[in-house]
Every structure is written in C-alpha cells, then in structure tokens.
Amino acid sequence: MIALILRDLRLAFRAGGGFGLALAFFLIVVVLVPFGVGPETGRLSGIAPGILWLGALLACLLSLDRVFQLDWEDGSLELLATSALPLETLAFAKAIAHWLTTGLPLVVAAPLLGVMLNLPGPAYPWLAASLAVGTPGLSAIGTFGAALTVGIKRGGLLLSLLVLPLYVPSLIFGAMTATRAAEALDPLPPLALLAGLSLAAAAAMPFAAAGALRVNLR
C-alpha cells in the first residue's frame, strides 16, 4: 500500500494537478471574498471561518476526478484490480494520497490566508485543527465519488453533485469549531463530532468505493 501511495504522490507532483491547483483555488476564493462582501473587518471576521472551510472544501473537489481516472485511462486500474491487493486497500491508499497532495497543503495554508479575512486570534489553532481532522474525511468521501464516476466521460460535474451533499455535515461542524473558538465558546463538541464523521468515512468509504469499482470494472 505504501508503494501505491508513493506512486500516486509522484504522479500528482509531476502532473501538477493536485497540490498547486488546490492551493491556487483556495487563494482565489479568499482574495475575492472581500470584493464581494466588502472590506469591513468586522464583517470579514464573522464569516472568515465559514469562508475558509468552504474554500477548502471546494478546493478538495478539484482533483477528485483524477483519483482513479488516470489509472482507468492507461489500463493500470484493471491491473491493480486483478492484483493481490484488495480493492478496499487500493481505495484507502488513494484517499491517503489525495489528502497528502490536497488536504494537507490546505491545512497549512488556511491559517495564513485567515489573516486576509481578519480571522480572530483564538480561532487560528482551532481552524487548523478542524481542517486537519475534517479533510481526511473529505478525501475518503471523495474517493467513493470518484469510484462511482470512473470511466464516465466528463464526469466531474456528476462527481460534484454526488459528493457535495455528503460534505455538508463536515462543513457545518468544521466551520462551527472555528466560529465557537472565535466567540470564546467551547469548540471541542463540534470538533469531536467532526472527528467522528471523518473516522466513519475512513472506515466505511473504502468498502463502498471498492464495491463501486467492482461494478464499473465488469
């Protein structure tokens, strides 16, 4: 499994489709928000946690269609499916590789971009913590969506429609964690719920993705 993760990391950095694209999109979202809602610091402070979490969520969507599609196009997905590696392990490895190339850079960049939205000081560590806890779940759910749409031409829109409703609970609890920290309230309850969602996604979605792959590879 480690070899597969390293392979996907090399492919992602060579193609440049995960790391740079997600960060660039995240930066664009944060830069454009003050133009849309106004530059007032009080207003930006109030919406900063939600905007940062929404930007990270949408940035995770950008590279989901590449999770299995490249392997499908060059035929390596069929070889991996017939190898000794279980499809569940393959899906889990793909989710880890997606998080390392997309989710982890967003976790690092979010506090830095929070300065542009005047994020309150107490919220910075909790924003990073919520993204570190929540984005692995987003990658796991996204891997399931990518498995459902693999082999479909121009399946990116369908993938987004399938995945976005499943992302909503993580968005709610992630933004609530940073918002409660900014308001000097206890952020641990929503963070615990977010952790539960990510653990459930990491446990269940590889099996769901493996089932979808078996159907699509018949």
Burial 64-84 (b: 16+ CB within 10 A, else e): bbbbbbbbbeeeebeebbeee
DSSP string, 53-97: HHHHHHHHHHTTTHHHHHHHHHTHHHHHHTSSS-HHHHHHHHHHH
- How far apart (Å, rounded) are the C-alpha atoms in residues 67 and 44? 34
Nearest residue to 169 via CA among 211, 206, 137? 137
Quick one: CA torsion of 160, 165, 166, 171, rounded to 10 degrees? 100
Residues 6+ apart with CB under 8 A from 2: none
> Digits of tens for pLDDT over the chain (218 positions)?
777 788 777 777 766 555 678 888 899 988 888 888 877 878 888 899 999 999 999 998 888 877 887 778 777 788 877 777 888 998 999 999 999 989 999 999 998 999 888 899 899 999 999 999 999 999 999 999 998 888 777 667 788 888 999 999 999 999 999 999 999 899 999 999 999 999 999 999 999 999 988 888 77
pLDDT at position 104 is 92
pLDDT at position 15 is 61
Written as one letter, the residue type at 118 is N
Domain boundaries, the chain: 2-216
pLDDT at position 83 is 79
pTM, rounded to two decimals: 0.90
